[in-house]
Structures are given as structure tokens and as C-alpha cells.
Amino acid sequence: MKFHFQNSGIISLKPYFKAFILTILIPVIQTASGQDLVKVQNFTVNNIDNFKIDALKVKNGSITIDGLLDESVWQQAETATGFTQRSPDPNEPATEATEVRILYDDDAIYVGARMYDSSPDSIAATLFRRDGDGYSDWFFVAFDSYNDNRTAFTFGVTPKEVRMDLMTYNDNQQDLSWDAVWEAAAHIDDKGWTAEIRIPFSQLRYNGEEDTVMRSWGVNFAREIARKGENSFWSPTPPDASGIVSRFGRLENLNNLPSTRRLEFLPYASGQLNRTPGNPEDPFYRQHDPEFNAGADIKYGIGSNLTLTATINPDFGQAEVDPAVVNLTAFETFFPERRPFFLEGSEIFNFEHTTNFSLGTAPQLLHTRRIGRTPQGQVPENAHFSEITGQTPIAGAIKLSGKTSDGWSIGLLNALTRRQQARYSMDGETIESIAIEPLSNYSVARARRDFREGQTVAGFIFNSLYRDNRSETLQELLTDRAYSGGLDFEQSWSDRKYRINGMVTGSYISGEPEVIEQIQRSSARYYQRPDAGHLQVDPESSSMKGLYADLMFTSFTREWLTQFRSYHISPGFEVNDMGFQPAADRRALTGLVSRQQQSPVGIFRNFDVWVLSGSTWNTAGDPLENLSGVGGFFNFQNFWTLNFNLLKGFRTKDDRLTRGGPIAGMPSNIGIDLFLGSDARRDLRISPGIFHRRTELDEYITNISATIRYRPYQAASISISPRLAKNYNATQYVTITADERATETFGNRYVFADLRQTTLSASIRLDWNFTPDLSLQLFAQPFISAGRYSRFKELNRPGSIDYDVYGEDMGTVVFNEVSSQYVIDPVGDGENEFAISNPDFNFRSLRGNAVLRWEFRPGSTMFLVWQQTRDSRESTGLFNMGHDFEKLFRSPASHTFLVKFSYWFGY
């Protein structure tokens, strides 16, 4: 819920891997006596007897949701009051009074709240889109209806009736993609403001059978006063508490709640017109290409705590486009999931640690964007014309999720994607076809069990992929089976102040030997490295398996956060068929200690400072990363913020730089980043930032960025985030060429170059909200990147940071303007010359969309969408903003127009 922890700003260097070693079974720790209690004023937080409220049963139809609270029955209900601050003054009484009452009937639960305000004309009440984060006061209610002390369903409303709903899981992690169908209204008066909420029982999940007479749920209420930066809770949740849901009070007197089998049906129909530039001689080209789709989402409640969700022929045309990137590495770019069906309820399939500091990017066992991915096959290289679909269509998907009465959290997912054919023509007349993606079935099973009121959790996950590789071209390209699975646990004690998380997972893939050899030689592992004695390519193997494990300890006591982590990924671990994994063959050890001042002192409202250190190795023991640093986050009394990090990287090795060749040296480096944020309460907010890193080879990366947000009107906002990046890389990989005279580097020359790259981009967003349910969003992302190569060179010897430059230290290099190639003679004797096509680049892109969203009745929406993309390329390598923008806007554009209509039926 938006019952959020104070943002510490702790650095999160995205983990390269997230692995840990599960070596012993953690015993159940008895904490019934001697538990460290947190005192708040004159009561004990752990004693929930001080925070109970009775719900009052009323007749159906007694309440009208208008935000006025003028029905007499509200005055008959028990009142929850006496809120306690979480910030800025932890454990102090809230500065403004709040009163909350709860009613229910046979169909729904009702929450009425009166937020008193001594300055009602200063109430923050801007209008923005549902689930947004605009500047506003808020009221929240959250229900732990599973009674597991870990899971809560949260509903929030602003004075302008903007709604937010989300799920809290694992006691303090949030899933904003969870959506329910419910109603809320609000009203501002001379006393402050009021809110009235109606939540159908069909939208909640709770344990128990129909004949259960009396129920009790966990419950908490929260209020945010934006102009004061104040967050307060009914059942106190101090900032040094390690959890949120485990701090809830109790909602009593829920009698004879329904245990219905809920049914929700959401059919949709959409029409789409694609208008793209093309070649009139192309037999597949259609300037105007219409598409029509229809499908449905179905939700069926199995009892009151499990939900079966299915989607048939899903359409995700309203999802925001991915940003443009220039990727010069050997590793795949990660793009997050944006499709609603896969986002909602994704927390139950989560199999990752939440860390405050990690190195690299962790492998994800499940990355749902693999389902319906871009087809992986290709048409023949000499095809003159071709027609290839952008995404593999999903025939259907189904998932079961929820939590049983005995503490099991269950998630099952199955999806089927269709077989895809591409058409091509060699001469513009004869049309042929080729398979580019097989019929595929994806399955996921995830379960976790809570013990000791959620302080001990154990679970497992199992993923499987089956491909119907009937085509010979696909048999030589893709695995036919892929499996991964593992066990995880969490053990906490002393009121969750200390926690150990662990997981151990394994993977298995099978396919033709050619496919397995490609994976062995891929950038994730490079089995072919000539100096890696622990790795060896097996061209006869038809399968591969591996292990990934991780162990993490976290201590969160009053003002101190301490976290240590160790992981291991074996060379054969591979989950990219269903997950996302940049690298295997890794081990790591990281640590962080943070001092957190949660209450105001001097010029600060609060602040965090930290020290961190981490190292990674491959499984042969070669050091790959050795990083240490300090940082801090400061929130000032004037509501400005400052975030900085100073990081030192020591000289290590790089076993990926030569892309399958011998290990190279990694130069030492030092980097600093500094970000300043202005007062978020103001209509105009400016947040500039700078990052600079320099290596001992005088390489550098400099990023200058800013975010400018302006609110010209209470229902409109404009956000512009420009970014300028300048990069000098003295070891940019170019190619490999065989030469038996290169004995130091095992008979190959590993060619690199200096690369000077300039990138200018911006994210521009305009939001206009006509009502809480009718909004218009405009988004544009111009992107220009230019890179120029020079001083071609080769690695001098394995493990070093020394390079011999052609034309200076050895051999010759000549640029042929006719062929636009660099001709290199590495020795200067005319033998074993090789040519490199001019690698300079200028890439330009403009991506944008406009989305009009109207929720014309609860759960039913209409979308009007326009998307535009433009791309332009050259090979000058020179950055000229005026010239590049002129070329960009003169390039032909592709347009997509979409109308989508969905209607919610609930039974």
C-alpha cells in the first residue's frame, strides 16, 4: 500500500546475479518470550488489543456512495481515531484528527472517514489518473483478510476522488498492478474532507467456510497530508519497523460473510489501423493495414480465497511502447513487463530477493515477456522482400492464484502461443513461407507456506516450456524443452528485525546438439574461452543443466540496516527460455551498513548514510568486480532532497570483454553521482542530476539529466526529463580475426577501438484529467545517439589492460573511402590483412503515443490510442543536434490507430 517506507535512496546497482547457498535447515526460532518490544507513547505496538474496531452490520442499500457520510447509521458504528505519525515525527500523535468507521452488508464492506483539517483551504487536491502519484492528500484502508500478517489489499482515495488500489505482500513489498472493481467518493467542507468507500466482498480474498459465524481480519488506516509531508497510521507503523502488515490492528464482528463463487467476465473488441511507409514493389506491403480483434478476460472465484483468471486472444495495444536504446554490448537489453494480464498478481510468482545493494543484473527464473516474444526465426538472408510479425500472438492464458486457509500461497500459470510463419519473396513474384516460431506452451507453478504467523516462510517454483519444433530450421535454432525450479525460504525473528532469505534453484534444457552448442558459446558463459580450464564446449551434448543459489541476511534495528549476501551461479545454469539471465559462471559476496535517522534533527527531516562493498568472481576464482563506496540520502526541512554516491572500483578481470576469447584486464575506476530534488509540493519541480565515472585508462562516462515537472492546473501536469550522455570507451569490442602468428592470444587477434559516443534523449509526458475516470496521456521520446570509432587496436596479452594500436604500436591501418572499410595489416608485411566495415553510427528515433482512457462504469473502459514511430540512420559518427533532428523529422513515420472497448460483468 502507499503505507510506504521513507525512501532511503540507497544505491541499487542492478544485480548481475542473485544467487545463494542453502547449506543448512534454519530452525524455527522461538520468540514467545524475551521479544524486543517497540514502545510508542504509552502503549506497546506488538499488543494489538489496543487497536481493535468492530464492524457494524447494516441492511443492503442503506449507504449511498456520495462522500457525505450523512446516513445516520454511520454515527452508530464504532470509531477508530488517535493516529500516530510515521513521518516526519515518528511515534508522535498526528497533527490533524482522523475518524474512521466500518459498516458491511451482505455484498460489500463500507469505510467512512472524516479527515479534520485546521486549514481546509490548503488541502492538496489535484486531479490525476487512477493509481497515480500526483501531489495530493490521501486516505487509505488496508485489509489483511487472509490473516497471515504478510498480505494486505489496500484501497485509497484523494479529496478529488482519485482512486488507488494495490496489494502488499511479504509484509512490506507492493504490487500496484493489482486492480479491483470498487467505488469511492469524497467531499471537501469547512472541517476538512470526508471519504466514503464501498468494496464488494467479491473483490477481496479471505479464508474460511460459509458456515463460519464470526470473522476477524487485520486492518489498518493511513492518512497523508501532502503539504506537511506527514504520514500517519491508526495502528502505529514506525519507520524502523521491518514490516507493514504485521503491524495491523484487528477488525472484529464480521458475521456470516459470503463464501461465493465469484464470476467476472470482461469481453473486449478492438479495431486497429496501421499506416506505414514502404516499397510499392513489395508484394507484402500495404500502406493501410486494418486489424480487428476480439477476446475476453474471465475471473472465477473458487471459494473466497482462490481466483481462476483466463484470457482468450488477449490484446495489449494500449500498453506503452518500449524506449529506444543503442546496445553495443553482447548482452540482451532488459525491458519490463507492461501487459496488464501478466502484471496483475505477478507478486505471487516472485522468486527474487529484495536487496538494498547488489552487483549486476540478477537472473529471473520467470520473465513473462518471453511469452508472446518477438519471433526468433528469420527468413533467408538473400530474400528480397519479407513479411514478419512483430510479436508472437498468444492464443490463450490461464492462471490460478490465492491463499488457502492453512497458509499456502498458490500461483499456477499456463499460456499457449501460436505457431508463426513468415512469408518472403526472392524476386517479388514467387512467395514462400518459413516457420519462425513454433507452437509453444509455458507453465509455471509457485507455492509458499507460512509458519509462525508469517515469520517463517518456505516455498518452491517450477517452470516448464515445451516447443513443437517440427520445422528443421527451428530444430537447429531453439531448445525443445526447458525446465527450471527451486526452493526458497525466509526466517525472521525478534519482531522481524532479523531475517535470513535463501533459495536454491536448478535448470535443465534439451535440444539438438547445434542448439546446445550455441548456448554454450553464448555471451552468458562463453565455454569456448581458450584460457578457461574449467569450461569446455561439448558439440555432442543435447542437454545442459546448472545450479543457482543465494543466501542473504538482513538486520533492521531501530536506526541501523545491515545486509550481507552471497550467491553462486554455475556455468551451466540457463533460464533465458522463460526467464532473463545475462550471465552464468558467477560467485559474489556483498555487504551494506546503513545509518537511518528517521526523525527531524537540525536542518534535516530525515537522512540515511551508508557504506557498502562487494566482489564477484567466476567459478575459476578470477576476480571480476571489486567495488566499495559510501553514499547518502538527505531530506531537508524545506522538503528538498539530496542523494549522492561515491564508488571506487579496483582493478580486476573481465571474462566477457573478448567475447569468447581469453580473459582481459578491467581497469580501476572511480565514480560519483549526485541528484538534487526540489520541493515536491510546488507546482514547478526541478530535479537535476549528474553521474561521472573515470577509469585508469582515462575512459569516462558522464550523464547529465534533469526532471522538470510543472502543474499549470490542478487537473494537468507536464513532465520533461532530458538526458545528455557522453562516453569515451578505450576498449570497445570490434571483431575477432584468426592469425596463427598471434601466439600470445591463442591464434586469434581480438580487435578493439576507441569509441566516443554522445547520446541525447528525453521523455516528455503530458497528463490531462477531465475527471477521475477520464484522462488523456501524451508521451514522446526523442532519441539521438552518435558514435565514432578510432585507434583500432588488439589485446596485447591475456589478463592485461595493455593494447597495441594499429599504425602506432604495430602494423598499419588504412581507410578505403570507396568501400567504406578500414583495411588493417597487423604486422605490416601484407599477410593476413583483414577489413572492417565502417562501424560509425548515427541512430535517431522518435516514439510516442496518445492514450485517451475512459472508465465509463466500474471495471469497464474504452481506449483511444495513437502511436507513432520514426527511425533514421547514418554512418558519419558525428553528433550534430540540428542536423540529427532535421533528419529525424524528415524520416517517414509509422502510425497506429487503435480503438478498444471492454465491458465488465460481475456476478
Query: Three-state SS string across 104-170, please?
Result: ECCCEEEEEEEEECCCHHHCCECCCCCCCCCCECEEEEEEECCCCCCCEEEEEECCCCCEEEEEEEC
Among 228-237, 333-342, 432-441, 504-513, the range scoring the smallest mean pLDDT is 333-342
**What average pLDDT score do residues 814-826 get?**
93
Q: Is the model's pLDDT at 252 over the cut of 90?
A: yes
Take residue 257 and report the three cell numbers written for it: 460473510
Residue of 862 and 402 predicted with greater confidence: 862
Contact of 467 with 418, CB cutoff 8 Å:
no
Whether the upstream peptide bond of residue 798 has omega within 30° of 0, thus cis, is: no
- Which helix (H) or strand (E) segment is 341 a member of? helix 340-343
Q: Is the model's pLDDT at 450 over the cut of 70?
A: yes
Instruction: Note the pLDDT of residue 241.
Output: 82
583 contacts: CB under 8 Å, gap ≥ 6? 16, 17, 331, 360, 361, 363, 523, 524, 525, 569, 656
Q: How confident is the model at residue 726 (pLDDT cuts 50, 70, 90)?
A: very high
Instruction: Report d(CA 544, CA 572) in Å as an integer.
Output: 6
**What average pLDDT score do residues 454-475 get?**
93
Instruction: Note the pLDDT of residue 49.
Output: 62
Instruction: Tell me the pLDDT tens digit for each residue of 647-703.
Output: 999 999 999 999 999 999 999 999 999 999 999 999 999 999 999 999 999 999 999
Instruction: Note the pLDDT of residue 341.
Output: 82
Q: Is the model's pLDDT at 7 over the cut of 70?
A: no
C-alpha dihedral (22, 25, 26, 28), degrees to nearest 10: 150
In a 3-state reduction of DSSP, which class is residue 6?
Answer: coil
- Residue 681 CA, distance from chain mean position: 27
Q: Is the model's pLDDT at 207 over the cut of 80?
A: no
Percent helix, strand and coil across the chain, each rounded to 5? Answer: 5, 50, 40
Instruction: Note the pLDDT of residue 406.
Output: 82
Take residue 363 and report the three cell numbers written for it: 537472473
Take residue 108 and report the three cell numbers written for it: 460489500
Instruction: Note the pLDDT of residue 360.
Output: 65
Residue of 213 and 344 predicted with greater confidence: 344
Instruction: Note the pLDDT of residue 6.
Output: 34
Predicted model pTM: 0.85
Q: Is the model's pLDDT at 577 over the cut of 70?
A: yes
For residue 266, the tally of other CB atoms under 10 A from its CB is 19
Q: How confident is the model at residue 838 (pLDDT cuts 50, 70, 90)?
A: very high
Q: Is the model's pLDDT at 172 over the cut of 80?
A: yes
Burial classification of residue 34, based on how many CB atoms lie within 10 Å of its CB (0-12 exposed, 13-18 middle, 19 or more buried) = exposed
Contact of 608 with 564, CB cutoff 8 Å:
no
Amino acid, res. 437 = E
Q: Is the model's pLDDT at 29 over the cut of 70?
A: no
Q: How many residues does the chain have?
A: 907
Q: Is the model's pLDDT at 15 over the cut of 50?
A: no
What DSSP state is assigned to residue 577?
T
Instruction: Tell me the pLDDT tens digit for each residue of 270-310.
Output: 999 999 888 888 898 888 889 898 999 998 888 778 889 99
286 contacts: CB under 8 Å, gap ≥ 6? none
Amino acid, res. 504 = V
Q: Is the model's pLDDT at 113 over the cut of 50?
A: yes
Residue among 762, 783, 778, 774 nearest 866 (CA): 778
Take residue 667 and report the three cell numbers written for it: 581497469
Instruction: Note the pLDDT of residue 2.
Output: 43
Instruction: Note the pLDDT of residue 212.
Output: 53
When the pLDDT of each residue in the chain is averaged and rounded to a whole number, the result is 89
Instruction: Tell me the pLDDT tens digit for each residue of 397-437.
Output: 999 988 887 888 899 999 999 999 999 998 888 899 999 99
